[in-house]
Amino acid sequence: MAITGFITDLLASIGRTVLGLCSTAGHLAIFTAQAVSHCLRPPFFLGEIARQFLKIGYFSLPVVGMTAVFTGAVLALQIYVGSARFNAESAVASIVAIGIVRELGPVLGGLMVAGRVSAAIAAEIGTMRVTEQIDALTTLSTNPFKYLVTPRLIAATVAMPILVAVADAIGIMGGFLVGVGRLGFNEGAYLNNTVDFLEFDDVFSGLVKAAVFGFIIALMGCYQGYNSGRGAQGVGRATTNAVVGASVLILAANYVLTELFFSA
């Protein structure tokens, strides 16, 4: 009796979780479709887009830059250790560059920005939901999707590739500083190695990833904020869910995109 009861409870809770996930995925898909369709139709709130661009892009520069410089530095040390075992130390410069540009720049940058921006967006829109500001927008004949969601999506999708391009440069510089200052590479040789072996596709694929991650970051922030529960607790939960959701989706999307570029 007790055992069957326990098993039924367990199955029920697993079932509930699975159903919950499916319903969230469905809601998110509808939300995404709506948001994208508004991105393509006027009116556009250009002032809002510019404001969000500044907030999301410009003010994330320090975080992303710091992440990049230390990542580049660590990468140079670790790759030196590995390549020394094959007497291939000269490869350090180009592997650092490729690692940063293809993978670590966009992914680590994306995760850092997810922590900063997804949370901020979810908290702001969630608070607007809870304090009836979204209802007020609607009664003032302004579509909240157009006014709140669209500008953030556009701004983040455009800002992330620019941020990551800057991060790439800073990360490579981090590797250069360690390579020259600590590992005794010749400055000119290090830079030559970096430039000679870096291909257009390396940079391009990284920037495409960055754009997708930017979209995910804004989308999760907006989705969670827009559907925030009532009260301060609701906003708190929305914020957490936005960061966790954005981070997991970024890692998943990263795999899918890498697979696509790999087979292309």
Partner 1 sequence: MSETPKIELKGVAKAFGSNAVLRGVDLSVAKGESMVIIGGSGTGKSVTLKCILGLIRPDAGEIHVDGARVDRSSGRSRDAMLDKFGMLFQGGALFDSLTVWQNVAFRLLHGKRKLPNDEARAIAIEKLKRVGLKEKTADLFPAELSGGMQKRVGLARAIAAAPEIIFFDEPTTGLDPIMADVINDLIRELVTEIGATAMTITHDMSSVRKIADNVAMIHEGVVQWCGPIGEMENSGNAYVDQFIHGRADGPIEAVR
# binding residues, partner 1 (CB under 8 A) = 14
- Site for partner 1, residues 38 to 77, rule: CB under 8 A: 45
| CB nearer to partner 1: pick between 95 and 125 | 125
Task: Rule CB under 8 A: say whether 20 interacts with partner 1.
Answer: no
Q: Which residue's structure tokens are 């596709």? A: 201
Gap between the Cα atoms of 60 and 63, Å rounded: 6
Task: Rule CB under 8 A: say whether 135 interacts with partner 1.
Answer: yes
**Sole window of 9-17, 65-73, 110-118, 125-133 interacting with partner 1 (rule: CB under 8 A):** 125-133
Q: Which of 54, 84, 136, 251 binds partner 1 (CB under 8 A)?
A: 136
Q: Which of 5, 139, 255, 262 binds partner 1 (CB under 8 A)?
A: 139
Gap between the Cα atoms of 194 and 217, Å rounded: 31
| CB nearer to partner 1: pick between 102 and 146 | 146
Task: In angstroms, give the least distance from the CB of 12 to partner 1.
Answer: 20
| CB nearer to partner 1: pick between 124 and 168 | 124
| CB nearer to partner 1: pick between 134 and 207 | 134
Gap between the Cα atoms of 152 and 146, Å rounded: 10
Q: Which of 140, 184, 255, 263 binds partner 1 (CB under 8 A)?
A: 140
Binding stretches for partner 1 (CB under 8 A): 45, 128, 131-133, 135-142, 147
